[in-house]
Structure 1
Amino acid sequence: MKLIYISLLTSILWHPICYLIDQMIEDYDKSTELVTVSHFLKHAIRWDSLFYIEIMENDYRYFKNHAFGYGIVLLGKVFSNSLIWLLILQKICNAISTQLIYKISMHYSNNNQKFSQLSALLFIFTPASVFFNSLYTESFFAFLVLVAIYLQIKQKTYQSSIVFALSIHLRSNGMFFILYSGYPYLVKAIIQLKDKKFKQVIATIIEAIPIALIYLISIGIMLYLPYKNYCQQNEMEWCKSIIPYAYGYIQKNFWDVSFLSSYKIRKLFFIYWGIQGILIQGFWLYKWMTKQCTIKNNIQGISIILPTIILFIITTFIAHINCSTRFFSTQIPFYWCLADLFYKKNGKINKWVLFYILEFNLGGLILFTNYLLWA
């Protein structure tokens, strides 16, 4: 329970700190002035938040808005588009997520209490704190992912898959968790195939089909809604693809998201801001693959790390590199990474990791409130 109280306290204190910084530094961008919300919580509305507010108030009237998931918009409608209630719900999700990280870490680390507590504390003081305390999808997405993992631990496989499938409508990389749900079945089927137990292979496949369908239905809904709005009369370029993926088209054509597009001389500061998360996560993934980490490299361990590996590859080579910390922050292996690296073998704090956490909590907050760089 102490972890929950610490989480709630830090989440609440974040707002007056952010408000003061917002008042001290003149915004580089004045977009927030377009928002009708007039109270002091305006500091929680930056970048993507503006799109969410626009969609909540006016629905998806612009094509580019389809890059922003339906999940948080539906939440907004449930709470009458109230920023205050959405932020309160966010604090509750953050607090519950903290406890879930502790319990999940205990399970995957063979009841290593020190490691599990540190992982949960690092989530509370996540380097991506600005996104877990402003009107963004990160906290809600992380909450659903953690709930789904916890359900899987409790062997409620189909319920877990449904929650994972719902997370896709908050962040599209939720679809990567089909690897987490499906990998144990794949290993089981391969072992049965090697043992020539063909009837059992068929039984395993039949058992896995409903899980695949749950994911596919959710992905299908995500693809269909923009297709319905823009491909019935006007045949846009992306409509003609085998899989009409509006989000990918918007990313590439509006935000220059493509292979190695972040690695340009004029983007040196973006590279500096993003490479830190990639190096830390990549170093830990190497240590995990070589069996030097707390989380074991077994079937369970591989299942939960696979989505992070895919996200790591996409973030490194395709996505905007400056968003790396933000992307990794919704994955529990990111906090296992920080927990494993936080202390050196001699018991001293790793200055590299400590600097990274402080830099992104403080520097990231200043940049975010001033509409700069990493959001």
Structure 2
Amino acid sequence: MTKNSNNQQTITLTKDQHQQSNRKHHHNHSSQKHHNQSSSQMPSSAISAAAAAAAASQGPTSHISITSLALLSRLLVIAIQIISNYLIPDHDAGVFLAPRDPEAPPGKLDGVVNALLGGLHRWDAQYFLHISEHGYSYENTLAFFPLFPFIIKILTSVLGGNSSLLTYRELSLVIAVLLNVVFFVFAAKALYKLSNMVLGNKKKSELAVILFCFNPASIFFTAPYTESLYAWLSFAVMAQCIDDINSILITVPLSLSILCRSNGMLNIGFLLFFYMRRILSQNSFHNIICIGSKLFSILIIIIFHYGIAQVYSYYLFCFEQKFSFPPHVKAYAAAHNLVLAGNKTAESSPWCSNYLPLSYSYVQSHYWNVGFMKYYELRQLPNFLLALPAIYLVVSNSCKYIHDNWDFCARLGLFRLNKKQVKSMRNYDRLAFAFVAHALFLALFSVFFVHVQVTTRMLASSSPVLYWFAAEYFTGDKAIIRRQVIRKLSKQVQDGTEPCAHVENCVELSEILDFRTMNLKQVAILLYFVGYAVIGTVLFSNFLPWT
């Protein structure tokens, strides 16, 4: 590994990469005739129009580091939020608003923070910052897992908490947003690493990261929500399962992802899947026992961490005890008929008497009306329409993957195929089964069991498949041929080394997002991603329905 003149890390081709490069070179020679034939079949009028547009705007290839791209996208979201929050009056959504101490004097910089970041303190962000300040004071707050508010609480306390400059609430808002910006950068890098492992295609991996940076749920990756942290932890777990599943260190991101969000439990599926593949590939009974023992140990560690959180919830709400809450916190509970921690009665918190006293399913059902098809009401039709693009993108492409690889999928991606079947499959097809199954389950579960409007942000933060499927429309064989034909006709093909060919964590924007050569599907995907990112930010920042 060396350094270039811009102090960026550069990498040299490994033996495998060199062989892939040679194979690609020979493939290009052998498929040139096919490309030419495909080119001749394209409508000449469409090619001429695109070529004319391409010739009108010549320029060098743009490239940017993943860190810079991720930071730029977060700054754009914050800027849109500032403008929309200033210009548009807030909607009275009639939802939870974290109580404030009416007697506490405001900090000198509170107004500045609210002007710059106030539009991010909406919807569930109210819960997360309340939990970081007062803990799980109300039973309905148990719907939100402890990792993110706990990190905010620690950093806010270390930096002083309440002061004459900033009150606790405003300081915690600043810290939460800064944390999410950092977590988002980590998530983008983790996605790039994971995509390279699974896809084996640099262009597609780059485009997946670009789409992630401007994803349809962008506002939730900046506001005090768990999306950025959870995406980073989940992508790290997935990459670790492929790269080094034997390491006990996999318990760190996996345990943290479970403490971050409820659907973090599904990440255990990746651990089980890749361990089962190892076990089934072993011929030695001794090796199988060793692998199984390690898997069992990892699962015990993970369940232990999850169990701690559940025991703590039981301790708070299943016993009558005295907790010291500020008067305004108690007053809010009384005014809104909320169950206060420590105030256990015979009627409150019925989940405490269950055989397995887990609070989450009760809280979701009781306070949010979550359950099988409970959201199927005519007035919820707009929310179903908002979630439709993400659902269609995942479900339709998952079905196509299953259809194209039926023998492999019928074996759950675990059992060996014959040599002919293996030879006909791409490396991506063999590695992607667990990811496609995970994304398809999330999409279908969201449609039938949860508030459907959360589907987009759930898929955007939980699965790389949304970005891989979208990237396929830009980097598939037909898309590549189309770009080659149009650039050839417009005399845009230039010799020389690509700026990002050997640079780590670098993406070439103009090479991938060449608007002059896009077809209707590609334009639709970009409009969906960017349009939702912008419109969602505007709506969210004013308490308008975008949750």
* TM exceeding 0.5: yes
Match of 1:311 in 2: 442
Q: From 258, 276, 290, give the equivalent of 2:371.
A: 258
Deviations 1:95-146 (A, max 9, x none): 2222221121111112x11100000101111111000111111011111222
Runs (5+) with no aligned partner, structure 2: 1-63, 101-105, 157-170, 321-343, 406-424, 483-517
CA displacement at 1:215 relative to structure 2: 2.1
Residues 45 and 134, structure 1, Cα contact 8 Å, conserved in 2: yes
Q: Aligned in 2, Cα 1:225/1:306: closer, same or farther, shift over 3 Å?
A: farther
Q: Which amino acid aligns with 1:286?
A: C
The CA RMSD measured in Å over matched residues stands at: 2.5
2:268 matches 1:183: no
The structure with the larger Rg is 2
User: Is residue 66 from structure 1 mapped to residue 142 from structure 2 by the alignment?
Assistant: yes
Shift of 1:343: 6.0
Q: Match for 1:297: what amino acid? A: D
Residue 79 (structure 2) pairs with residue 16 (structure 1): yes
Partner of residue 128 from structure 1, selected from 203, 217, 239: 217
- Distance verdict in 2 for CA 1:189–1:263, change over 3 Å: same
CA contact under 8 A between 1:367 and 1:374: conserved in structure 2? yes
List runs of 5+ in structure 1 lacking aligned partners. none
* Structure of higher RCO (CA pairs closer than 8 Å, 6+ residues apart): 2
The question of whether the paired residues in 2 share the 8 Å contact of 1:238 and 1:245 is answered with: yes
Question: Alpha-carbon deviation of 1:16?
Answer: 2.1
Among 128, 153, 174, the residue aligned to 1:52: 128
Higher helix share: 1
Does 2:264 match 1:174? Answer: yes
Q: Aligned partner of 1:332: which letter? A: P
Name 2:385's counterpart in structure 1.
272
Structure 2 residue matching 1:296: 3-state secondary structure: helix
- Identify the residue that residue 155 of structure 1 maps to in structure 2: 244
- Contact preservation (8 Å) 2:77, 2:534: no
Q: Equivalent residue for 1:297? A: 429
Residue 249 (str. 1) matches residue 362 (str. 2):
yes
Greater mean alpha carbon deviation, residues 52-61 or residues 240-249: 240-249
Residue 219 in 1 paired to residue 306 in 2?
Answer: yes
State the 1:184 CA deviation: 2.2
Distance between the aligned counterparts of 1:326 and 1:45, measured in 2?
17
Q: 1:108 and 1:177, CA in 2 relative to 1: closer, same or farther beyond 3 A? A: same
8 A Cα contact 1:288 1:295, kept in partner: no
Question: Residues 108 and 323 (structure 1 numbering): CA distance in 2 closer, same or farther, change over 3 Å?
Answer: same
> Alpha carbons of 1:215 and 1:230: their partners in 2 closer, same or farther (altered >3 Å)?
same
Partner of residue 357, structure 1: 529
Aligned to 2:428, the other structure's residue is in SS state coil
Counterpart-to-counterpart distance in 2, 1:200 and 1:147 = 26
- d(CA) in 2 for partners of 1:243, 1:359: 44
3-state SS, counterpart of residue 212 of structure 1: helix
* More off after superposition, 286-295 vs 137-146: 286-295
CA 1:221–1:295: 2 relative to 1, 3 Å: farther
Alignment match, 1:105: 195
Which residue does 2:507 correspond to in 1? none
1:374 alignment counterpart: 546
Change (3 A) 1:295 1:141: farther
Question: What do the CA deviations read for 1:174-210 (whole angstroms, capped 9, x no partner)?
Answer: 1101110111222444566xx7x65444333212101
Q: 1:85 to 1:324 in 2, by over 3 A?
A: same
Contact in 2 for aligned 1:270/1:373 (Cα 8 Å):
no
Q: Equivalent residue for 2:290? A: 203
SS of 1:315's equivalent in the other structure is helix
Residue among 196, 221, 228 paired with 2:315: 228
Question: Secondary structure of 1:242's partner?
Answer: coil
Change (3 A) 1:294 1:271: farther
Compute the TM-score of the two structures, normalised by the length of structure 1. 0.90
Distance 2:217 2:379 in 1: 24
- Percent identity of equivalent pairs: 25
Query: Does structure 2 retain, via aligned residues, the 8 Å contact 1:102–1:116?
Result: yes
Distance 1:224 1:294, change over 3 A: farther
Q: Which amino acid aligns with 2:136?
A: Y
The answer (yes or no) to whether the contact 1:176–1:310 under 8 Å persists in 2 is no
2:454 counterpart residue number: 323
